[in-house]
Amino acid sequence: MLRYVVNRIVSLLPVLIIVSIIVFLIIHLTPGNPATLILGEEASPTSIHQLEEKLGLNQPIVVQYLDWLKKMVTGDFGQSVYSSEPVTHMIAANLGPTFSLMVFALILTLIIAIPMAVIAVWKRNTILDPIFISVSLLGVSIPAFWLAILLVLIFAVALPVFPVAGYVPLSRNFLGGLYHLFLPAFILAAVETGLVARMLRDGMLEAVNQNYTKTARAKGLTESTVLLKHVLANALIPTTTVIGTMVAGLMGGTVIVETIFTIPGIGQLLIDSIYRRDYPVIQGVILFIAVVYVLVNLIVDLLYTLLDPRIRYD
Amino acid sequence: MLKVNHLKAYIDSIDGIVKAVDDLTFSIGKGETIGIVGESGSGKSILAQSLIQLNPSPPVFYPQGEIQFEGRDLLKLSEKELCNIRGNEISMIFQDPLSSLNPIFKIGRQLVEAVRAHHRMTRRQAEVKALSLLKDVGISQPERCMKSYPHELSGGMRQRVMIAIALSGHPKLLIADEPTTALDVTIQAQILELLTRLQSKYGTSIIIITHDLGVVARLADRILVMYSGKIVEEGTAEDIFYRTSMPYTWSLLRAIPSLKLTLNDRLVSIPGQPPDLASPPQGCNFYPRCPFASPKCREAEPVLKEIGKGHRAACILDEETFESRKKELEKKESGGSMISNGQGSVTS
């Protein structure tokens, strides 16, 4: 098991190196001289030259990359050109809201998706199942930004049930915080629920026809016990993959939702930094998101061993 | 104890209504063992699952018939009442013991669940009971078995666990649907021996479904031969093996390979395919494959008629004609390169 984990982590290295190269090149692929972009068009050639020297932009590109990578690996993400604050501090400060939003969205997704899938399978020979498929397809197809604006219009403007925007840290006021997070989390969840519920339903429909389900029925268990214990547990295994990529995908989804609801999270930080051409922050945030994505997928692979005893990594 | 009257179990499929079980009548008494024999697709598994209504429904439906079990018609019971019967009064074991156990739960959990399904007891009490059940089915290290997952056990062990689960409610009737088909021959013998031993211990009635004539010859008090959803012959093992009265049964027996065969001999098979049950042939279902068919067979469906005591067969040929036709055919074939290896090779 330990060997597997080590192997998996080693195999992540190429992925991370490729991501780092792309992130590094952002600064060079955007048109214009980075120093000019940072200092503005009116800057004197001397100050531009000085900044280039300071940022190492006059070095060969490979040397620049290796220097940059060395810093990244040691946890030095550099400083914001805009506020001179260390990038790591900025990410850490914005992590709380994003993390709360993601966890809330994930919980909402599971709360909606699991009962939906169970009911769809339980009533599989009725009209409910096709209705379920249509609804989940609709959920997958609706873009988050559109749904966000629509829901704000309905539930914050027309019927002022929820706040239009804003964020209250959960540590300061838990219920108030949840109240502010509900709409954004629901929007993130709505998009993911369709996929998770559909995956779960398909997995359950497959498990329903397996012989072990027949055995469970032959034991005299009620249909609800059969579905909730035997069928659901087996369907959760393939669904875990989807939930894993979903968690990673939520990271990207938060960028849009945080902007719409002005939640001071990682996504908002990224968008603000893009507007400010604050390259060190952009690079740091993207690299951070990529690392989280890769780690979540690793965790999902390891979770399999807990869910399915037949899978052993040794 | 269990009486099936004119049972029909049809499947609503894209190709139309498939008559998987078509007007079947039989009964089983206390402590009795009956064997149901037939080739794949003859409807025997659908029949077995009909008895405790394990068939997915839809597509399976029961347009006619009754299943009388101790004064109740099982077809008329509610789902809740059926749950009280399944695993408790009537249990079932299946063909493939690996896929029949839930792969992600330990044996202990699956067995305890079965024990507690019908008896109010604590988890601890249920575990004690589960251990004694495992010992009962001949598992030598029951504690270790309880902690194992299904894939960690051998095929024979898994089928023993399945039997332990089936016996957990002390059922009056055990339905075994091809219990030994997925196992190798030595394990088969052990499992059959186990079933016989448990039957004499608990007085359970057994319905054993198989395509293996050797299995039923050893176990069954009475044998039902099924062909395309119907019983075509019914009788004791002796009736079926030595007083065969239906061409299909006879063909089936002839198809058993004999150890007396030499390299030059060819295996005997029944020509053709079982009929498409969505559009069965007119008259006798076996008519298109029957070596003794005459145009008369096409006119009407033969009815099961009493030939001897408890021996019924569905064929329009009378005994004498059947016997002479059999001899004719055997003579003709031994004239070629084939040898006859009919009933003589099967011993009970």
A171 in B contact zone (CB under 8 Å):
no
Could you tell me the pLDDT band of residue A141, with boundaries at 50, 70 and 90?
confident
Q: Which residues from chain A sit within 8 angstroms of residue B51, using beta carbons?
A: none
- Residue B278 confidence class, pLDDT cut points 50, 70, 90: confident
d(CA B69, CA B5): 11
- A-chain CB neighbours of B162 within 8 Å are 215
**Pairing state between β B305-308 and B33-37:** unpaired
B125/B215 same-domain check = yes
Contact B104 A211 (CB under 8 A): no
Q: Which of B84, B98, B100 has the most A C-beta neighbours within 10 Å, making it the best mutation to test the interface with A?
A: B100
Which of B289, B319, B236 lies closest to B33, judged by CA?
A: B236
Q: What is the pLDDT of residue A115?
A: 92
How far the first Cα of chain B sits from its last, in Å, is: 27
Shared-domain flag, residues B205 and B256 = no
* pLDDT greater than 50 at residue A99: yes
Shared-domain flag, residues B58 and B94: yes
Contact check, Cβ <8 Å, B87/A220: yes
By mean pLDDT, which of A19-23, A91-95, A204-208, B313-317 is the weakest?
B313-317
Domain hosting residue B6, numbered range = 2-220
Question: Looking at the structure, do residues B208 and B268 belong to the same domain, yes or no?
Answer: no
Identify whether the C-beta of residue A65 lies closer than 8 Å to the C-beta of residue A77.
no
Residue B342 has pLDDT above 70, yes or no: no
Chain A CB contacts of B85 below 8 Å: 220
A234 lies within 8 A of chain B by CB: yes
My answer on whether B199 and B305 are in the same domain is no
State the nearest Cα–Cα gap between A225 and chain B, in angstroms: 10
Task: Look at residue B230 and tell me if it is in a domain.
Answer: no
- pLDDT value, residue B335: 59
Return the pLDDT at B186.
Answer: 83
Q: How many domains is chain B partitioned into structurally?
A: 2
Note the pLDDT of residue B340. Answer: 44
* Same domain, residue pair B115 and B256: no
Q: Which of the listed ranges B229-233, B257-261, B337-341 does the model predict with the highest average pLDDT?
A: B229-233
Structure confidence by residue, pLDDT tens digits, B76-133: 888 888 888 898 899 999 888 888 999 999 999 999 999 998 888 888 999 999 999 9
pLDDT of residue B173: 92
Domain-located, residue B315: yes
**Inter-chain touch B104–A234, beta carbons under 8 Å:** yes
pLDDT per residue as tens digits for the range B169-206: 889 999 999 888 878 888 888 888 888 888 888 889 99
Q: How far apart are CA B281 and CA B289, in angstroms?
A: 11
Distance CA A93, CA A309 (A): 40
Q: Judge whether B23 lies within some domain.
A: yes
Does B233 reside within a domain?
no
Q: What is the pLDDT of residue A106?
A: 92
Q: pLDDT digits over A261-303, tens only?
A: 888 999 999 999 988 888 888 888 988 888 888 888 888 888 8
Provide the mean pLDDT of chain A: 86
Instruction: Tell me if B183 is assigned to some domain.
Output: yes
**Which of A211, A222, A307 is facing B96, going by the closest CB pair?**
A211
Residues of B in contact with A217 (CB under 8 A): 54, 86
Smallest Cβ–Cβ distance between A218 and the set B80, B86, B99 belongs to: B86
CA distance A242 to A195: 8
pTM across the whole model: 0.79
In a domain, B59, yes or no: yes
Per-residue pLDDT for B141 more than 80?
yes
Q: Based on the domain organization, do B139 and B43 belong to the same domain?
A: yes
Give the pLDDT of residue B60. 86
**Residue type, position A138, single letter:** L
Q: Check whether residue B51 and residue B153 sit in a common domain.
A: yes
Residue showing tokens 């219920």: A175
| Same domain, yes or no: B191 and B257 | no
State the average pLDDT over residues A2-11. 84
**pLDDT exceeds cutoff 90 at B207:** yes
Instruction: Verify whether the Cβ–Cβ distance B103 to A237 is below 8 Å.
Output: no
Query: Per the domain annotation, does B227 fall within a domain?
Result: no
Strand order in the sheet with B16-28: B16-28, B2-13, B60-69, B72-73
- Greatest Cα pair distance, chain A, in angstroms, is 85
Residues B251 and B192 reside in one and the same domain: no
Same domain, B10 and B112: yes
Residue A34 has pLDDT above 80, yes or no: no
pLDDT tens across A38-78, in order?
777 777 888 888 877 877 777 888 888 888 888 888 888 88
Q: Phi, psi (5° rounding) for residue B122?
A: -75, 165
| B191 and B259 together in one domain | no
- Residue A313's pLDDT is 67
Domains and CATH numbers, chain A: 2-73 (no CATH), 95-307 (1.10.3720.10)
Residues in chain B within 8 Å Cβ distance of A215: 94, 100-102, 162, 165
Burial label for B214, CB within 10 Å (0-12, 13-18, 19+), is: middle
Share of chain B above pLDDT 70, in %: 96
Per-residue confidence (pLDDT) for residue B347, from 0 to 100: 39
Task: Quick: pLDDT tens for B25-36.
Answer: 888 988 899 999
**Within a domain: B164:** yes
Is A211 an interface residue toward B (CB < 8 Å)? yes
Share of chain A above pLDDT 90, in %: 16
CB A243 within 8 A of CB A107: no
Boundary (domain end) residue, out of B181, B205, B220: B220
The answer to whether the Cβ–Cβ distance between B104 and A220 falls below 8 Å is no
Using CB atoms, which residue from B83, B94, B99 is nearest to A222?
A: B83
Answer yes or no: is pLDDT of B338 > 70: no
Q: What is the pLDDT of residues A152-199, one digit of tens each?
A: 889 888 888 888 777 888 888 888 888 888 989 998 888 888 889 989
* Residue B332: pLDDT band with limits 50, 70, 90: confident
User: Among partner residues B104, B106, B166, which is closest to A308 by beta-carbon distance?
Assistant: B104
What is the Cα–Cα distance from B52 to B62, expressed in whole angstroms? 12
Is A220 in contact with B117 (Cβ distance < 8 A)? yes
